[in-house]
Structure 1
Amino acid sequence: MNVKTLCAKVGMFSGAVALLAGGMAMASVDAASAPLPVAAKSATATTVFKVPSMSCGDKACETAIYIALHRLKGVEKIRIDDMARTVTVTYDPKDVNAATMLQTMKGIGYPASVQQSG
């Protein structure tokens, strides 16, 4: 058996294993050696909001804020610190901005201010 035939059989075997393991499509041996394009990761921004009226003992405040912000396009991560009464949001500034998030929190009854932006 020559090297080319062996490589083709190994490629078929590893593709079948990958398909069974995770549903990955098999690539040809020649295509497997070509570099894959890397998707450009969009830049994100993080803003910390101070929410003085966030004082619910049963987490209702945090839940309402989380749901409202999570519905905004571009919001990627929300971290709520109920003791410090802060909400930290990581987002794509091309899709959403701090002013929109402030308006959203105010609209559900939790006026906020920007504590730190970056």
Structure 2
Amino acid sequence: MSYLPDAQLSDTLPRLVQTRLLQTFEASNFPNIGRPDDQLSVDVTLATELRAFEIDAGNGNVATVTVNAKLVDERRGAIFASQIFTASTPATLDPTATAIAALDKSLQNVMNQILQWTAKTA
């Protein structure tokens, strides 16, 4: 196991990923987007679980992001669609900025996959 000694997140990782996902949807002009704490009246909720946000140094320095996404029908309280999204990008651990750029590229790829899936499925 290794870590990036000069890297520091500005918030908790799940919160940062949620913010990036929200920004991805807003940039695409997807209708009726908000955070869970916005208390919107919605029919469908997109629930996500961050499964991986890492650089695998033992496997050739690959930055991988994996997110499980679920679409929930709020009227029935039931999940009607679920899918796991993943993306990997070659990375290096030195300098730290290069590693972060690889993680960012993988994250953006996953966010775009989720956006396209949601648009088709919801």
| TM-score category (smaller protein) | under 0.3
User: Which structure is richer in relative contact order (CA contacts within 8 A, separation 6 or more)?
Assistant: 1
TM-score, normalised to structure 1, is: 0.24
Give the TM-score taking structure 2 as reference length: 0.24
Task: State the structure with more CA Rg.
Answer: 1
